[in-house]
Amino acid sequence: LVSVLSSALIVYRLPWTWKCSKLLMKCIHAGLNTVAMILAIVSVVAAFEYHNARNIPNMYSLHSWIGLTAVIFYCLQLFLGFAVFLLPFAPLRLRAALMPIHVYSGLTIFATVIATALMGITEKLIFALQNPAYSASPPEAIFVNCLGLLLIIFGALILWMASRPHWKRPPEENAKVLLPAGGTSEGTEAESTMTDGSNADRSDLRINSEAARKQNLKLDEAGQRSTM
pLDDT per residue as tens digits for the range 151-194: 999 999 999 999 888 888 887 544 444 444 444 433 333 333 33
215 part of a folded domain: no
Over residues 29-49, the mean pLDDT reads 95
101 part of a folded domain: yes
pLDDT tens string 76-113: 999 999 999 988 888 999 999 999 999 999 999 999 99
186 part of a folded domain: no
pLDDT at residue 31 greater than cutoff 60: yes
The total of other beta-carbon atoms located within 10 Å of residue 95's CB is 17
Report the C-alpha gap between 219 and 38 in whole angstroms.
32
57 part of a folded domain: yes
The band of 222, judged by pLDDT with boundaries at 50, 70 and 90, is: very low
What is the CATH classification number for the domain harbouring 134? Answer: 1.20.120.1770
185 part of a folded domain: no
Classify residue 130 by its DSSP letter.
B
CB 116 within 8 A of CB 67: yes
99 part of a folded domain: yes
- pTM above the 0.85 mark? no
141 alpha-carbon distance from chain centroid: 33
10 part of a folded domain: yes
The backbone region for 102, taken as left when phi is positive above 0, alpha when psi lies in -120 to 50, beta otherwise, is: alpha
**Does 203 or 155 have the greater pLDDT score?**
155
33 part of a folded domain: yes
1 alpha-carbon distance from chain centroid: 13
pLDDT at residue 67 greater than cutoff 50: yes
Domain span holding position 151: 1-167
Amino acid at 83: A
Percentage of residues in the chain having pLDDT higher than 70? 75
Distances (CA, A) of 222 to 7, 57, 89: 21, 45, 18
Count of domains for the chain: 1
